[in-house]
Structure 1
Amino acid sequence: MCDQWKEEFEYAVQVARAAGAVIRKAGECEIKVQTKSCAVDLVTQTDDRVEKIIIGSLKEQFGEGTHCFIGEESVSKGKPCVFTDKPTWIIDPVDGTTNFVHGFPFVAVSIAFAVNKKLEFGVVYSCIEDKMYKARKGHGAFCDDEQIQVSDVKDINKSIIISEHGTDRSPEKVSKIFSTMQKILRIPVHGLRGSGTAATNMCLVACGASEAFFEIGIHCWDIAAGVVIVREAGGILLDVDGGEFDLMSRRMVSANNKTIADRIIKEIEIFEVVRDDAEI
């Protein structure tokens, strides 16, 4: 029986590792920084170069025109974010660019693959740590070759929760983000954390180091690979309003179980963001 998408999955692992090596080497050299949407939304030449390497490698391996691509840097340059039923790669070449610029040691390559708008596998290579997180639908989640699973904590008071503050620094959004964090800290929880990379945050939930990660304002390329890894590790994904998770909505709660997720959702102050697939 054909093991569907196995070849694509194994190649994605190879490509992610090779991309991570490029990022590590670039981190040893001068880093030239530009901005995208605002002064704190950073991009480097490495982001662009690594995305081109990843997409070029995939096209060469599987044939030009056979697959679709959603890449962070391509979208930032004006390419539409179109999610169809066709085989689609969703790529964040350098998740944690601000970390990369500052030498903060959490930077990840994130590669996901979807067919019929359903995520089939995800690969997250935390390249400074040299940890390869990976999962295929129905095959479990792994860190390197060791299977991982979410924690069994159900008591919110015994949890570590992860969140990020994003790049939109408008007073209204900043106020709601930090109000939410304050309310969660006052539950109380054991701690509130953030690695600076959504892909890594999701992997920390998947391996049981944290009970949940939530954020409003993330993008599909930040979390697509992590979604598969969390699910295959036994976790769940929800919208921040408690509804069904939507990859393009830019709103997400990932958690070890519904008890923890529901408790966090009670405290989240929701604000509006533009969907990734919105018409420009």
Structure 2
Amino acid sequence: MPELDTAIEAARKAGELIRAKADVAKRVDIKSSAHDLVTEVDKKSEALVREVILSHHPDHAILGEEGVAAGVEASKRALAEYREQESLWVVDPIDGTTNFVHGFPFFCVSIAFAQRQEVTVGVIYDPIRDDLFTAEKGKGAYLNGERITVSEERTLSESLLATGFPTDARGVRQVNTAAILKLAPQVRNVRAAGSAALHLACIAAGRLTGFWELELNAWDLAAGALLIEEAGGQVTDTVGRPYDLGVRHILATNGHVHHDVLRLLEEVGSTGFE
């Protein structure tokens, strides 16, 4: 599929830039809050990804994080404007910018392609580990060319879950923390490494059992959601509805523990829905 080749080319080129700047990129701007950062490398990475995509597909639309104003409402408006495009690329040039700024090596490039609102290509590239995760709709998920599948854990007690801390200051962090307190005693452990896209890729590769987080965006989730589905896992919103580009409150698992996590999120009121 030509879109897969384009996504791989763009992700690798952006990854080269990110890797070269990883030890020196400390100049940051504040976006919606002190927890929501953007660097010049984010902007240059997105510009590079756009250049590669448009060189191969000049008539395609691109929804990139750095082209959207800060804040939840701006993100929702941007998606509403773009999502009905016939051919749409959804790009996060660095997912895990705070990690990048601090030199914590857990960040990635995330690129998805959607045809008539259905995600058909997903690529996540970890430039530090040189791990390239790829998926095409109906063709499976791969890590560096090798087929991957989700993990086999069937109970919460043997599960390794991950979550994140939303960047906004509207109380969503506290809501998500309640879920951590509810789930942590019932699972093997919980991780929060700071990149939603890379957490999702880890589920597809069997490294994590599941991930949930509130108030994310299409560019955080689109590529990783396809990877998990193609690796045999399950992706919904936090009340169990099927994933689509508009989902902001996400639950992704190997499928075996999905219902149990949904039930506990509901019990503690941590779905993100009123």
State the TM-score, normalizing by the size of structure 1: 0.90
Q: Could you say which residue in structure 2 is the equivalent of 1:127?
A: 127
Deviation of the 1:91 alpha carbon: 0.1
What is the CA–CA distance in structure 2 between the aligned matches of 1:204 and 1:30, rounded to whole Å?
Answer: 25
Q: Could you say which residue in structure 1 is the equivalent of 2:258?
A: 261
Q: Could you say which residue in structure 2 is the equivalent of 1:61?
A: 56
What is the CA–CA distance in structure 2 between the aligned matches of 1:102 and 1:159, rounded to whole Å?
Answer: 29
Q: Could you say which residue in structure 1 is the equivalent of 2:96?
A: 96
Q: Structure 2, unaligned stretches of length 5 or more?
A: none
Q: Is the 8 A contact 1:108 1:124 kept in 2?
A: yes
Q: Is the 8 A contact 2:172 2:214 kept in 1?
A: no
Q: Could you say which residue in structure 1 is the equivalent of 2:163?
A: 163
Q: Secondary structure at the match of 2:223?
A: helix
What is the CA–CA distance in structure 2 between the aligned matches of 1:195 and 1:251, rounded to whole Å?
Answer: 18
Deviation by residue 1:114-150 (Cα, 9 ceiling, x = unmatched): 0010000100001111100001011111110111000
- Alpha-carbon spacing, 1:174–1:58, altered in 2? closer, same or farther (3 Å): closer
Deviation of the 1:30 alpha carbon: 4.2
Deviation of the 1:174 alpha carbon: 2.7
- Alpha-carbon spacing, 1:137–1:30, altered in 2? closer, same or farther (3 Å): closer
Which amino acid is 1:133 matched to? F
1:69-80 equivalent positions in 2, closer than 5 A: 69-76=62-69, 80=78
Deviation of the 1:155 alpha carbon: 1.2
What is the CA–CA distance in structure 2 between the aligned matches of 1:270 and 1:8, rounded to whole Å?
Answer: 34
Deviation of the 1:228 alpha carbon: 1.0
State the TM-score, normalizing by the size of structure 2: 0.92
What is the CA–CA distance in structure 1 between the aligned matches of 2:190 and 2:63, rounded to whole Å?
Answer: 31
What is the CA–CA distance in structure 2 between the aligned matches of 1:149 and 1:169, rounded to whole Å?
Answer: 36
Q: Does 1:17 align with 2:15?
A: no
Q: Over the residues paired in the alignment, what is the CA RMSD in angstroms?
A: 1.6
Q: Structure 1, unaligned stretches of length 5 or more?
A: 1-5, 274-280
1:103-142 equivalent positions in 2, closer than 5 A: 103-142=103-142
Q: Secondary structure at the match of 1:214?
A: strand
User: Which has more helix, going by share of residues?
Assistant: 2
Which amino acid is 2:68 matched to? V
Q: Could you say which residue in structure 2 is the equivalent of 1:173?
A: 172
Q: Does 1:233 align with 2:243?
A: no
Q: Does 1:196 align with 2:191?
A: no
Give runs of ≥4 in structure 1 deviating > 3 Å: none
Deviation of the 1:154 alpha carbon: 1.1
Deviation by residue 1:64-107 (Cα, 9 ceiling, x = unmatched): xx101110000127783320141100000000000000000011
Select 2:242's aligned residue among 240, 244, 253.
244
Q: Could you say which residue in structure 1 is the equivalent of 2:184?
A: 185
Which amino acid is 1:180 matched to? A
Q: Identity percentage over the alignment?
A: 33
Q: Is the 8 A contact 1:106 1:129 kept in 2?
A: no
Q: Secondary structure at the match of 2:257?
A: helix
- Alpha-carbon spacing, 1:8–1:246, altered in 2? closer, same or farther (3 Å): closer
